[in-house]
Structure 1
Amino acid sequence: MDASYSIVIADDHPLFRNALFQAVHMAISGANLLEADSLESLVQLLETQDEPDLVLLDLKMPGANGMSGLIQMRADYPDIPIVVVSASEDASIVTQVKTHGAFGFIPKSSDMRTLTDALKQVLNGDPYFPAELITNKAASDDLATKIATLTPQQYKVLGMLNDGLLNKQIAYELNVSEATIKAHMTAIFRKLGVKNRTQAVIMLQQMQPES
């Protein structure tokens, strides 16, 4: 394959980044590989480089709370294909990843051949989602669809609720008024079809990846 591909590997585990490096080199000899170990370092990288051909994104790394990293990336860099690489192999996570606009999903348990085949497929312009992890369960799809209606800021607020922060603490962290946070909360509850923050947090946790 064309060796001029530029690929970013965003994962906070050095050993797995190394494994991905090997897989990418097997799939595309001589590709330009870049690393990021947090959402912040990924954003800084993208701000200083030409847009890459592909980002391999871990769902859980510093700065990313569940789907928040993917949501932020899709909002800020809509033209960059993003393939999620995760230790979670729950079908509902794969459903949510698809709903949020990822171009593919590769389980971390995949062997080297599967990794290389998946990389070749997405770089050829075809999405990659393991058939055995695609679910048609209505409840899972409905939950993923509801979560996907949240704006990046609303998802961030929901993540902070999940961390146990109070409204005034969230307002401070996001540098907005407490009234703005209350407005976000009202919108979140309406979109998720829940009545309080406890129900909202439980819904988020049902869709959280393991790693």
Structure 2
Amino acid sequence: METIKITLVDDHRLFRSGIASLINNLNGYSVLFEAANGEELTQKITPRNKPDIVLLDINMPVMDGTHTARWLHDVYPEIHIIVLSMHEDPEKVLTMLKLGVKGYLLKDAEPHEFEQALRKVAKGEVYYPEFVTRLLLSSFSQSASEVKLNTRELEFLKLASTELTYKEIADQMNISVRTVDGYRDALFEKLHVKSRVGLVLYAIKNKMIDL
């Protein structure tokens, strides 16, 4: 298995050191570099020196986690983000998730939970602890009884909740990528969501998939 490269972005050096030690002791993972804030990350990262996963704190000086996540989403959308924070504040959590972060962990999480989050996100899946899942579902109002989906839309929704790319979904459904785009856009409109994460939340709330 190819080594998963990770970057740590946190203004507490001692915390970074502890997390770096934990990562370097895991098989298949290594720390590419560290940064004390988002601005330092933007200075160190390049197309040839970029991680697969960024572990990101929210509260940092100079350039905080929210602005950093937005910058990564715009400039390096292929990089997965896991938030490592002390905050359970609903507004902060929802803001980060809307920016496309793939995982959210509290800094007092157990090492096995940390490793599980890394493994799931590295595979293109999401990892949210129970309190985040509850928050997401309570903020998502659409339910299956309110929206009528046809068989193919339901099939697409279930596949969109996996790590498959849209092209792979098209291959599995034996349709063109353009048709997949049509299903996606139709569901965005029907469910009043704007992202694939919104589709996943709908599927979770209606017990089509499990986290």
TM-based fold match above 0.5: yes
Contact 2:90 2:135 survives alignment (8 Å): no
Q: Does residue 101 of the first structure (1) align with residue 113 of the second (2)?
A: no
CA distance in structure 2 between the partners assigned to 1:122 and 1:66 by the alignment = 18
Instruction: Supply the AA of the counterpart residue of 2:123.
Output: N
TM-score (normalizing by structure 1): 0.58
Instruction: Supply the AA of the counterpart residue of 1:130.
Output: P
Identity of matched residues, %: 29
Contact 2:38 2:65 survives alignment (8 Å): no
TM-score (normalizing by structure 2): 0.58
Q: Does residue 14 of the first structure (1) align with residue 13 of the second (2)?
A: yes
- CA change 1:125–1:26 in 2 (3 A) is farther
Q: What's the offset of the Cα at 1:5?
A: 1.8
Partner of 1:125: 124
CA distance in structure 1 between the partners assigned to 2:115 and 2:51 by the alignment = 18
Q: What's the offset of the Cα at 1:92?
A: 3.5
Superposition pairs for residues 154-193 of structure 1, below 5 Å? none
CA distance in structure 1 between the partners assigned to 2:35 and 2:136 by the alignment = 34
Q: What's the offset of the Cα at 1:3?
A: 5.6
Q: What's the offset of the Cα at 1:83?
A: 1.2
For structure 2, list consecutive stretches of 5 or more residues without a partner in the other structure.
Answer: 142-211
CA distance in structure 2 between the partners assigned to 1:69 and 1:107 by the alignment = 18
Q: What's the offset of the Cα at 1:61?
A: 1.6
SS in 1 for 2:128: coil
SS in 2 for 1:122: helix
Instruction: Supply the AA of the counterpart residue of 1:57.
Output: L
Instruction: Supply the AA of the counterpart residue of 2:16.
Output: R
Q: What's the offset of the Cα at 1:86?
A: 0.9
Q: What's the offset of the Cα at 1:56?
A: 0.8
- CA change 1:141–1:44 in 2 (3 A) is farther
Partner of 1:75: 74
Partner of 1:27: 26
CA distance in structure 2 between the partners assigned to 1:128 and 1:12 by the alignment = 23
- CA change 1:37–1:136 in 2 (3 A) is closer
**More divergent stretch after superposition (123-132 vs 60-69):** 60-69
Q: What's the offset of the Cα at 1:136?
A: 4.5
Deviation readout 1:63-82 (Å, 9 max, x if unpaired)? 22462221122112111111
- CA change 1:132–1:33 in 2 (3 A) is same
Q: What's the offset of the Cα at 1:30?
A: 5.7
CA distance in structure 1 between the partners assigned to 2:30 and 2:137 by the alignment = 40
CA distance in structure 2 between the partners assigned to 1:139 and 1:117 by the alignment = 25
CA distance in structure 1 between the partners assigned to 2:49 and 2:10 by the alignment = 20
Partner of 2:37: 38
Contact 1:27 1:120 survives alignment (8 Å): no
Deviation readout 1:65-113 (Å, 9 max, x if unpaired)? 4622211221121111111111102344322211111111111111222
Runs of 4+ in 1 over 6 A off after TM superposition: none
Deviation readout 1:138-160 (Å, 9 max, x if unpaired)? 99679xxxxxxxxxxxxxxxxxx
